[in-house]
């Protein structure tokens, strides 16, 4: 594996965890513990890592001391277990310090022979977290494979309470977006409508009427969009089920 290519990939992948909005998952994570997050695909294993990174950042750990590598990146297809030590070397180079960096290795099962590397790094007292989703990682043998150096944590899809939290954030975001969009597109109409409705009243009454009009328009527009989104997704899901039923 070319060292410069790997370094560029590590720099590029910083944007993944820096720019991803997070909904905090309801898992208790201890400090100074190495975790192996396992579970089926698309359950949020990577987001558990992003959550940890955000916490480290909040605790004052410089981003230069955090190493994140996602081995799903097609540019890493040629990487072997012998190349994994380059990650440490590049991490120390980027941090410009002798302090051991925090390692987050996502979908590391894509590298044959990864087990010996992570065991060695854990023995060297690095803080390291890994994720995996293949059959071996999901089996009960993973604990013995890692030799007791990691806490195995199974990650599941959103719970009902997490779904409610996500939906609330989604609706609030859409409300804000629609408010800004409406104000940008119809500022004069909104202002005049408030004046027309309350032309004989005080300024306070006019502003209050204007806000009421804005609220009713935005809410109507927002929930119309939500209905369209869910109807569209329902049609897609129904089409997929019909396709599989007709081809099974």
Answer yes or no: are the C-beta atoms of 196 and 79 closer than 8 Å: no
Residue 34 burial (CB count, 10 A): 18
Answer yes or no: are the C-beta atoms of 62 and 117 closer than 8 Å: no
Give the pLDDT confidence of 201-221 residue by residue, as tens digits: 555 555 565 555 555 555 555
Which pLDDT score, from 0 to 100, does residue 183 have? 56
Tokens representing 46 are 């990577």
Answer yes or no: are the C-beta atoms of 6 and 73 closer than 8 Å: no
Give the pLDDT confidence of 115-153 residue by residue, as tens digits: 999 999 999 999 999 998 877 677 778 888 898 899 999
Distance CA 169, CA 157 (A): 18
Mean pLDDT of 177-198: 54
Tokens representing 83 are 């190349």
Split at pLDDT 50, 70, 90, the class of 237 is low
Answer yes or no: are the C-beta atoms of 130 and 36 closer than 8 Å: yes
Give the pLDDT confidence of 25-58 residue by residue, as tens digits: 888 899 889 999 998 888 889 999 999 999 999 9
Q: Would the pLDDT of 195 be above 50?
A: no
For the ranges 70-74, 87-91, 168-172, 231-235, the lowest mean pLDDT is seen at: 231-235
Distance CA 139, CA 119 (A): 18
Answer yes or no: are the C-beta atoms of 113 and 80 closer than 8 Å: yes
pLDDT above 90 coverage of the chain, percent:
42
Which pLDDT score, from 0 to 100, does residue 69 have? 96
3-state secondary structure the chain: CCHHHHHHHHHHHHHHHHCCCCCCCCCCCCCCCCEEEECCCCCCHHHHHHHHHHHHHHCCCCHHHEEEEECCCHHHCCCCHHHHHHHHHHHHHHHCCCCCCEEEEECHHHCCCHHHHHHHHHHCCCEEEEEECCHHHHCCCHHHHCCCCCEEEECCCCCHHHHHHHHHHHHHHHHHHHHHHHHHHCHHHHHHHHHHHCCCCCHHHHHHHHHHHHHHHHHHHHHHHHHHHHHHHHHHHHHHHHHHHHCC
Q: Using only C-alpha atoms, what is the Rg of the chain?
A: 25
Give the pLDDT confidence of 139-148 residue by residue, as tens digits: 778 888 898 8
Split at pLDDT 50, 70, 90, the class of 174 is low
Q: Would the pLDDT of 189 be above 60?
A: no
Mean pLDDT of 85-98: 90
- At 131, give phi and psi (nearest 5°): -130, 160
Distance CA 35, CA 152 (A): 6
Answer yes or no: are the C-beta atoms of 129 and 104 closer than 8 Å: yes
């Amino acid at each position: 594996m070319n060292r410069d290519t790997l370094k560029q990939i590590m720099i590029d992948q910083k944007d993944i965890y820096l720019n991803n909005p997070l909904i905090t998952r309801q898992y208790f994570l201890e400090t100074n513990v190495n975790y192996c997050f396992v579970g089926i695909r698309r359950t949020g294993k990577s987001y558990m890592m992003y959550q940890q990174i955000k916490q480290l950042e909040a605790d004052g750990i410089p981003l230069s001391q955090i190493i994140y590598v996602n081995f799903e990146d097609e540019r890493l297809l040629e990487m072997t277990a012998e190349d994994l030590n380059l990650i440490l070397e590049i991490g120390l180079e980027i941090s410009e310090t002798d302090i051991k960096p925090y390692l987050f290795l996502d979908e590391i099962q894509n590298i044959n022979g990864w087990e010996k590397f992570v065991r060695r790094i854990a023995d060297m007292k690095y803080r390291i977290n890994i994720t995996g989703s293949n059959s071996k990682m999901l089996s009960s043998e993973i604990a013995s494979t890692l030799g007791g150096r990691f806490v195995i944590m199974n990650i599941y899809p959103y719970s009902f309470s997490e779904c409610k939290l996500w939906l609330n954030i989604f609706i609030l975001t859409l409300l804000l977006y629609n408010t800004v969009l409406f104000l940008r597109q119809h500022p004069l109409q909104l202002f005049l409508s408030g004046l027309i409705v309350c032309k004989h009243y005080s300024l306070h009454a006019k502003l209050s009427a204007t806000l009421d009009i804005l609220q009713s328009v935005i809410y109507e527009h927002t929930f119309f969009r939500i209905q369209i989104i869910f109807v569209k997704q329902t049609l897609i899901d129904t089409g997929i089920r019909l396709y599989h039923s007709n081809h099974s």
